[in-house]
Structure 1
Protein backbone atom coordinates (compact mmCIF):
# COMPACT_ATOMS: atom_id res chain seq x y z
CA UNK A 1 0.00 0.00 0.00
CA UNK A 2 1.13 3.51 -0.77
CA UNK A 3 0.97 6.87 0.97
CA UNK A 4 -0.69 9.75 -0.90
CA UNK A 5 -0.01 13.44 -0.35
CA UNK A 6 -2.88 15.64 -1.56
CA UNK A 7 -1.78 19.27 -1.86
CA UNK A 8 -4.71 21.69 -1.96
CA UNK A 9 -4.95 25.38 -2.87
CA UNK A 10 -4.85 28.05 -5.53
CA UNK A 11 -1.40 29.29 -6.52
CA UNK A 12 -2.88 32.54 -7.88
CA UNK A 13 -4.16 33.58 -4.43
CA UNK A 14 -1.11 34.39 -2.33
CA UNK A 15 -0.78 32.16 0.71
CA UNK A 16 -3.53 29.83 -0.54
CA UNK A 17 -0.84 28.54 -2.91
CA UNK A 18 0.88 26.65 -0.07
CA UNK A 19 -0.43 23.28 -1.24
CA UNK A 20 0.48 23.71 -4.91
CA UNK A 21 3.94 24.98 -3.92
CA UNK A 22 4.47 21.85 -1.83
CA UNK A 23 3.37 19.65 -4.75
CA UNK A 24 5.80 21.47 -7.05
CA UNK A 25 8.67 21.01 -4.60
CA UNK A 26 7.89 17.29 -4.27
CA UNK A 27 7.74 16.81 -8.02
CA UNK A 28 11.15 18.48 -8.45
CA UNK A 29 12.81 16.59 -5.59
CA UNK A 30 10.66 13.87 -3.98
CA UNK A 31 10.74 13.46 -0.21
CA UNK A 32 10.01 9.99 1.09
CA UNK A 33 7.81 7.57 -0.82
CA UNK A 34 4.74 9.78 -1.21
CA UNK A 35 2.55 9.71 -4.31
CA UNK A 36 1.91 13.43 -4.77
CA UNK A 37 -1.34 14.82 -6.17
CA UNK A 38 -1.79 18.55 -6.76
CA UNK A 39 -5.48 18.88 -5.98
CA UNK A 40 -5.55 22.60 -6.74
CA UNK A 41 -8.71 24.40 -5.69
CA UNK A 42 -11.00 21.46 -6.53
CA UNK A 43 -9.49 18.46 -4.71
CA UNK A 44 -12.78 16.58 -4.93
CA UNK A 45 -11.87 15.98 -8.60
CA UNK A 46 -9.09 13.65 -7.39
CA UNK A 47 -11.27 11.27 -5.38
CA UNK A 48 -11.11 8.55 -8.05
CA UNK A 49 -7.33 8.84 -8.43
CA UNK A 50 -6.90 8.56 -4.66
CA UNK A 51 -9.27 5.59 -4.43
CA UNK A 52 -7.31 3.78 -7.14
CA UNK A 53 -4.18 4.05 -5.00
CA UNK A 54 -5.95 2.58 -1.92
CA UNK A 55 -3.40 4.37 0.26
CA UNK A 56 -2.44 3.29 3.74
CA UNK A 57 -2.29 7.02 4.52
CA UNK A 58 -3.65 10.13 2.90
CA UNK A 59 -2.06 13.39 3.99
CA UNK A 60 -3.91 16.56 2.99
CA UNK A 61 -2.03 19.87 3.17
CA UNK A 62 -3.92 23.13 2.77
CA UNK A 63 -3.75 26.78 3.81
CA UNK A 64 -6.32 26.97 6.59
CA UNK A 65 -7.42 29.97 8.64
CA UNK A 66 -7.12 28.70 12.20
CA UNK A 67 -6.76 32.08 13.90
CA UNK A 68 -3.02 31.57 14.52
CA UNK A 69 0.12 33.46 13.56
CA UNK A 70 0.87 33.38 9.81
CA UNK A 71 2.92 30.31 8.92
CA UNK A 72 1.77 28.27 11.94
CA UNK A 73 1.39 24.59 11.11
CA UNK A 74 -1.11 22.35 12.88
CA UNK A 75 -2.30 18.78 12.56
CA UNK A 76 -6.10 18.75 12.58
CA UNK A 77 -8.14 15.66 13.39
CA UNK A 78 -10.09 14.88 10.18
CA UNK A 79 -13.15 14.03 12.30
CA UNK A 80 -13.17 17.65 13.51
CA UNK A 81 -12.97 19.28 10.08
CA UNK A 82 -16.74 19.34 9.53
CA UNK A 83 -17.43 20.72 13.02
CA UNK A 84 -14.82 23.48 12.82
CA UNK A 85 -15.31 26.68 10.92
CA UNK A 86 -12.20 26.41 8.80
CA UNK A 87 -11.87 29.18 6.24
CA UNK A 88 -10.94 27.72 2.87
CA UNK A 89 -11.23 28.93 -0.69
CA UNK A 90 -12.52 25.66 -2.13
CA UNK A 91 -15.86 25.04 -3.75
CA UNK A 92 -16.58 22.01 -1.57
CA UNK A 93 -15.63 21.55 2.07
CA UNK A 94 -12.69 19.22 2.70
CA UNK A 95 -14.91 17.25 5.08
CA UNK A 96 -16.81 16.06 1.97
CA UNK A 97 -13.57 14.74 0.49
CA UNK A 98 -12.61 12.96 3.72
CA UNK A 99 -16.10 11.43 4.02
CA UNK A 100 -15.93 10.15 0.45
CA UNK A 101 -12.57 8.45 1.05
CA UNK A 102 -13.11 6.94 4.52
CA UNK A 103 -13.69 3.44 3.19
CA UNK A 104 -10.65 3.48 0.88
CA UNK A 105 -7.97 5.05 3.06
CA UNK A 106 -6.35 3.60 6.14
CA UNK A 107 -5.50 6.90 7.85
CA UNK A 108 -6.11 10.56 7.00
CA UNK A 109 -3.73 13.25 8.24
CA UNK A 110 -4.79 16.86 7.73
CA UNK A 111 -2.09 19.54 7.94
CA UNK A 112 -3.19 23.17 8.03
CA UNK A 113 -0.87 26.10 7.33
CA UNK A 114 -2.09 29.45 8.65
CA UNK A 115 -2.17 31.99 5.78
CA UNK A 116 -1.56 35.70 6.12
CA UNK A 117 -2.74 37.15 2.79
CA UNK A 118 -5.17 35.35 0.51
CA UNK A 119 -6.07 37.40 -2.53
CA UNK A 120 -5.72 37.20 -6.28
CA UNK A 121 -2.23 37.95 -7.60
CA UNK A 122 -0.65 38.49 -4.19
CA UNK A 123 2.71 36.79 -3.67
CA UNK A 124 3.12 34.13 -1.02
CA UNK A 125 4.31 35.64 2.25
CA UNK A 126 7.70 34.63 3.70
CA UNK A 127 6.07 33.02 6.76
CA UNK A 128 3.94 30.67 4.67
CA UNK A 129 6.81 29.96 2.27
CA UNK A 130 8.92 28.90 5.28
CA UNK A 131 6.06 26.74 6.59
CA UNK A 132 5.81 24.93 3.25
CA UNK A 133 9.56 24.27 3.42
CA UNK A 134 9.11 22.83 6.94
CA UNK A 135 6.32 20.51 5.81
CA UNK A 136 8.42 19.48 2.80
CA UNK A 137 11.38 18.56 5.02
CA UNK A 138 9.14 16.51 7.35
CA UNK A 139 7.92 14.38 4.43
CA UNK A 140 11.29 12.60 4.32
CA UNK A 141 10.42 10.87 7.61
CA UNK A 142 7.34 8.64 7.25
CA UNK A 143 6.07 9.85 10.64
CA UNK A 144 7.23 13.45 10.22
CA UNK A 145 3.75 14.92 9.70
CA UNK A 146 2.46 13.31 12.89
CA UNK A 147 5.00 15.38 14.83
CA UNK A 148 3.22 18.69 14.18
CA UNK A 149 1.26 20.08 17.11
CA UNK A 150 -2.44 19.32 17.09
CA UNK A 151 -4.94 22.18 16.82
Structure 2
Protein backbone atom coordinates (compact mmCIF):
# COMPACT_ATOMS: atom_id res chain seq x y z
CA UNK A 1 0.00 0.00 0.00
CA UNK A 2 1.26 3.47 -0.78
CA UNK A 3 1.79 5.99 2.01
CA UNK A 4 -1.11 8.20 0.87
CA UNK A 5 -3.49 5.22 0.88
CA UNK A 6 -2.25 4.30 4.36
CA UNK A 7 -2.89 7.82 5.64
CA UNK A 8 -6.32 7.96 3.97
CA UNK A 9 -7.34 4.80 5.87
CA UNK A 10 -6.68 6.36 9.29
CA UNK A 11 -9.78 7.72 10.98
CA UNK A 12 -11.10 8.62 14.41
CA UNK A 13 -9.71 7.06 17.55
CA UNK A 14 -6.28 5.58 16.78
CA UNK A 15 -4.66 2.73 18.69
CA UNK A 16 -1.00 1.94 17.99
CA UNK A 17 0.24 -1.48 19.07
CA UNK A 18 3.99 -2.11 19.01
CA UNK A 19 5.19 -5.69 18.68
CA UNK A 20 8.67 -7.04 19.31
CA UNK A 21 10.99 -8.93 21.59
CA UNK A 22 13.28 -6.47 23.41
CA UNK A 23 15.97 -9.18 23.70
CA UNK A 24 16.21 -9.87 19.95
CA UNK A 25 17.83 -6.84 18.32
CA UNK A 26 15.75 -5.32 15.53
CA UNK A 27 12.74 -7.46 16.45
CA UNK A 28 12.17 -4.91 19.24
CA UNK A 29 11.41 -2.06 16.83
CA UNK A 30 7.60 -2.00 17.26
CA UNK A 31 7.83 -1.99 21.04
CA UNK A 32 10.60 0.60 20.90
CA UNK A 33 8.51 3.03 18.85
CA UNK A 34 5.49 2.71 21.16
CA UNK A 35 7.66 3.22 24.25
CA UNK A 36 9.18 6.33 22.65
CA UNK A 37 5.72 7.67 21.80
CA UNK A 38 4.49 7.06 25.35
CA UNK A 39 6.90 9.75 26.54
CA UNK A 40 4.82 12.35 24.69
CA UNK A 41 1.34 13.73 25.06
CA UNK A 42 -0.69 12.02 22.36
CA UNK A 43 -4.27 11.54 21.21
CA UNK A 44 -3.58 7.89 20.34
CA UNK A 45 -3.95 4.85 22.57
CA UNK A 46 -0.56 3.15 22.86
CA UNK A 47 -0.04 -0.52 23.71
CA UNK A 48 3.33 -2.25 23.95
CA UNK A 49 2.52 -5.88 23.13
CA UNK A 50 6.17 -6.99 23.18
CA UNK A 51 6.28 -10.41 21.47
CA UNK A 52 2.74 -11.50 22.39
CA UNK A 53 0.04 -9.39 20.72
CA UNK A 54 -2.51 -12.15 21.34
CA UNK A 55 -2.39 -11.27 25.06
CA UNK A 56 -3.66 -7.76 24.26
CA UNK A 57 -6.51 -8.59 21.88
CA UNK A 58 -9.27 -8.01 24.46
CA UNK A 59 -7.67 -4.76 25.63
CA UNK A 60 -7.58 -3.55 22.01
CA UNK A 61 -11.22 -4.55 21.49
CA UNK A 62 -12.33 -2.87 24.74
CA UNK A 63 -10.91 0.46 23.51
CA UNK A 64 -13.10 0.22 20.36
CA UNK A 65 -10.65 2.13 18.16
CA UNK A 66 -11.58 3.36 14.69
CA UNK A 67 -8.06 2.54 13.48
CA UNK A 68 -5.57 -0.01 14.82
CA UNK A 69 -1.95 0.26 13.64
CA UNK A 70 0.39 -2.63 14.42
CA UNK A 71 4.11 -1.91 14.14
CA UNK A 72 6.43 -4.91 13.83
CA UNK A 73 9.62 -6.23 12.23
CA UNK A 74 8.98 -8.33 9.12
CA UNK A 75 11.34 -10.29 6.90
CA UNK A 76 10.46 -8.82 3.51
CA UNK A 77 13.67 -9.40 1.52
CA UNK A 78 14.31 -5.65 1.54
CA UNK A 79 17.18 -3.49 2.76
CA UNK A 80 17.40 -3.33 6.58
CA UNK A 81 15.34 -0.43 7.85
CA UNK A 82 12.95 -0.50 4.87
CA UNK A 83 9.33 0.27 5.71
CA UNK A 84 6.16 -1.21 4.25
CA UNK A 85 2.62 0.01 4.88
CA UNK A 86 0.45 -3.10 4.87
CA UNK A 87 -3.09 -4.40 5.07
CA UNK A 88 -4.09 -7.76 6.51
CA UNK A 89 -4.07 -9.38 3.07
CA UNK A 90 -0.41 -8.45 2.60
CA UNK A 91 0.62 -10.69 5.51
CA UNK A 92 0.14 -13.85 3.44
CA UNK A 93 3.47 -13.38 1.67
CA UNK A 94 5.51 -11.98 4.56
CA UNK A 95 7.27 -13.94 7.28
CA UNK A 96 6.59 -12.52 10.73
CA UNK A 97 9.74 -11.82 12.71
CA UNK A 98 11.26 -14.09 15.35
CA UNK A 99 8.22 -14.32 17.63
CA UNK A 100 5.79 -17.14 16.91
CA UNK A 101 2.54 -15.22 17.13
CA UNK A 102 0.19 -15.52 14.20
CA UNK A 103 -0.52 -11.83 13.74
CA UNK A 104 -2.93 -12.53 10.91
CA UNK A 105 -5.20 -14.56 13.23
CA UNK A 106 -5.04 -11.79 15.86
CA UNK A 107 -6.04 -9.21 13.27
CA UNK A 108 -8.88 -11.35 11.93
CA UNK A 109 -10.31 -11.74 15.44
CA UNK A 110 -9.96 -8.02 16.22
CA UNK A 111 -11.69 -7.11 12.96
CA UNK A 112 -14.57 -9.43 13.85
CA UNK A 113 -15.13 -7.47 17.07
CA UNK A 114 -14.59 -3.83 16.06
CA UNK A 115 -15.80 -1.73 13.17
CA UNK A 116 -12.46 -0.01 12.68
CA UNK A 117 -9.66 -0.62 10.21
CA UNK A 118 -6.50 -2.55 11.00
CA UNK A 119 -3.26 -1.45 9.36
CA UNK A 120 0.34 -2.61 9.74
CA UNK A 121 3.69 -0.88 9.52
CA UNK A 122 6.39 -3.43 8.77
CA UNK A 123 10.10 -2.74 9.18
CA UNK A 124 12.79 -4.94 7.65
CA UNK A 125 15.19 -6.07 10.42
CA UNK A 126 18.91 -6.47 9.95
CA UNK A 127 19.63 -8.58 13.03
CA UNK A 128 17.21 -10.44 15.29
CA UNK A 129 19.78 -12.49 17.20
CA UNK A 130 19.24 -12.96 20.92
CA UNK A 131 21.02 -10.44 23.14
CA UNK A 132 21.91 -8.03 20.32
CA UNK A 133 20.95 -4.34 20.32
CA UNK A 134 18.92 -2.79 17.53
CA UNK A 135 20.99 -2.05 14.44
CA UNK A 136 21.77 1.53 13.49
CA UNK A 137 19.69 1.28 10.29
CA UNK A 138 16.57 0.05 12.10
CA UNK A 139 17.05 2.50 14.97
CA UNK A 140 17.24 5.36 12.42
CA UNK A 141 14.06 4.11 10.78
CA UNK A 142 12.37 3.88 14.18
CA UNK A 143 13.20 7.53 14.89
CA UNK A 144 11.89 8.62 11.48
CA UNK A 145 8.68 6.63 11.98
CA UNK A 146 8.22 7.98 15.49
CA UNK A 147 8.44 11.54 14.18
CA UNK A 148 6.18 10.71 11.25
CA UNK A 149 3.53 9.30 13.60
CA UNK A 150 3.77 12.36 15.86
CA UNK A 151 3.34 14.84 13.03
CA UNK A 152 0.83 13.01 10.81
CA UNK A 153 -1.24 10.69 12.97
CA UNK A 154 -1.21 11.34 16.73
CA UNK A 155 -0.58 15.07 17.07
* TM-score using structure 2 length: 0.86
Unaligned runs of 5+ in 2: 1-11
Aligned residue-pair number = 142
Deviation, 1:123, is 1.0
Give yes or no for the alignment of 1:36 onto 2:56.
Answer: no
Tell me: CA distance 1:128–1:87, structure 2 relative to 1, closer, same or farther (3 Å).
Answer: same
Q: Give distance in 2, aligned partners of 1:110 and 1:73.
A: 10
* TM-score using structure 1 length: 0.88
Spell out the pairing of 1:25-104 with structure 2 (5 A cutoff): 25-30=36-41, 32-81=42-91, 83-103=92-112, 104=114
SS at match of 1:64: strand
Tell me: CA distance 1:133–1:101, structure 2 relative to 1, closer, same or farther (3 Å).
Answer: same
Q: Give me the CA root mean square deviation.
A: 1.7
The structure 1 segments of at least 4 consecutive aligned residues displaced by more than 4 Å after TM superposition are: none
Q: Deviations over 1:40-97 (max 9, x none)?
A: 101010000000011000000001110000000111121221x214132222211011
Q: Deviations over 1:18-53 (max 9, x none)?
A: 0111121011124x4211000010101000000001
Deviation, 1:128, is 0.3
Unaligned runs of 5+ in 1: 145-151
- Larger mean Cα displacement after TM superposition, 88-97 or 117-126: 88-97
Deviation, 1:2, is 2.0
